Amino acid sequence: MSFTRPRRRLAATLGAFAAATLVLGACTNSSDDSSSSNVGKSNTDNDKSGDKVVIGFSAPAADHGWMGAITSAAKAQAEQYDDVELRVAEGTNDVNLQISQVETFINDKVDAIVLLPFDGAAMTPVATKAMEAGIPVINVDREFDSTFAARTTVLGDNYGMGVSAGTYVCEQAGGDKDKVVAEIAGIDSLPLTQDRSKGFADALKKCGLKVNNRVAAEFTVESGEKAASNLLQAAPKIDYLWNHDDDQGVGVLAAIKAANRDEFTMIGGAGSANVMRDIEADNTVLKATVIYPSTQAADGVKLARLIVQDKALSDLAEVEIPRKIQLAAPVVTKENVKEFIDSAFES
C-alpha cells in the first residue's frame, strides 16, 4: 500500500482517538441482494466518483437473519459506487480463520478493512496490526478491546434498545403499576444482552414497573420456542412481553400460539421484516419491535470509502470522520411501520 495519502487522513488513521459520538437513525439497506435499490446515496459531493478504494470485509457466518443482512447490505452498499471494490471473506465463526482473513487483507495491501469480529477481544491484535500497517479499520457492532485497533467504530445501541422497549411498555401501561412484565433475553453471558436487559429495567423503573418474569434464549428459533414455553408455564398472567431478538421471536410466537395465550402485548427486537408484517397486519400479540440496525456494515463501507478518499461527513462541520458512530434504536409500531419495512431483514 502506498503511503502517499494526505497527511491529515494518515494522522486520523493512526492517532485521532478523541471520542466523538454521532447518533444516526436512518436505515437504508435490506437483507437480500434484490433490495439493493433501497440502499440510497445522499445528494452531496461525497458520492461523486473518486480514487478507487479496495475494502476488505469480514463478518461471522450468516447463521441467522440479522447477520445475513449485515453482509448483504454491505455488498449492496458497495455496488452503489463505481470507485469501490469490496473483497468479501467467507463468513466464519472460527476466530482463527477470521484472523487469517484479516492477515490476507493486510498482505494484499487493501485500502481499508470493515470488520465485524466474531470475538472483539480475540480480533483486537490483528486489527491493531492492520492499523499499524496504515490500513484504517472500521469496527462494526462488536467492539475491540483497544482504541488503537480501529479508526472508526459503528455500533448499534443495545442499552438504547432496552430503554426504547421499556419506554414503550410504560407508555402503553398508562401509569398502571400493577402490570405484569416479562422478558425473553438472548444469551445472558453476552454484554449486549446484559446491556439490553439493563436498559429495559432502567426504563421500566421510571414508571414504577419491573420485570416480573425473565428467561434467556440463544438467538435461535428453537431456543426461543423452548424459553417461551417455560416462561408461559411459569407466568399464568402477562401484560407485556419483550423478546430481545426477532429471529428467536419466530419460536417465541410459535410457543405463544401453542399455549393459546393472547392476553398480552409482545414487543420484538432487531426489526425483522416478518415481524413488521405481523405488526402491520395487527393480527397477533406482536404490536411493536425495536430496531437494531442491520445497516452497520453498510455504513462501515461508506465510512471506509470516505476515510480513504480523505473526505468528511458532509452534514458535520468537523473535517474528520468521527471516531464512533452509534445508530439509534427506534420503536416500530403499526403507525410508523411503513417507514422501516423496506429496510428490514428476513428472519
How confident is the model over 143-188, as pLDDT tens digits? 999 999 999 999 999 999 999 999 999 999 999 999 999 999 999 9
Is 339 part of a structural domain of the chain? no
Average predicted confidence (pLDDT) for the chain: 89
pLDDT value at position 12?
38
Q: What is the mean pLDDT of residues 111-120?
A: 96
Are residues 136 and 124 part of one domain?
yes
pLDDT value at position 212?
98
Distance, CA of 329 to CA of 199 (rounded, Å): 12
* Confidence band for 26, pLDDT divided at 50, 70 and 90: very low
Distance, CA of 289 to CA of 271 (rounded, Å): 6
What is the number of domains present in the chain?
2
Computed on alpha carbons and rounded to an integer, the radius of gyration of the chain in Å comes to 21
Are residues 313 and 259 part of one domain?
no
Phi/psi for 317 (5° steps) reads -75, -30
Q: What is the mean pLDDT of residues 108-134?
A: 97
- Sequence-separated (6 or more) residues with CB below 8 Å from residue 233: none
Q: What is the CATH number of the domain that holds 263?
A: 3.40.50.2300
Least confident of 18-22, 247-251, 279-283, 336-340: 18-22
* Confidence band for 2, pLDDT divided at 50, 70 and 90: very low
Q: Tens digit of pLDDT for each residue in 195-237?
A: 999 999 999 999 999 999 999 999 999 999 999 999 999 999 9
Are residues 45 and 110 part of one domain?
yes
Tell me if the pTM is above 0.75.
yes
**Range of 253's domain?**
158-291
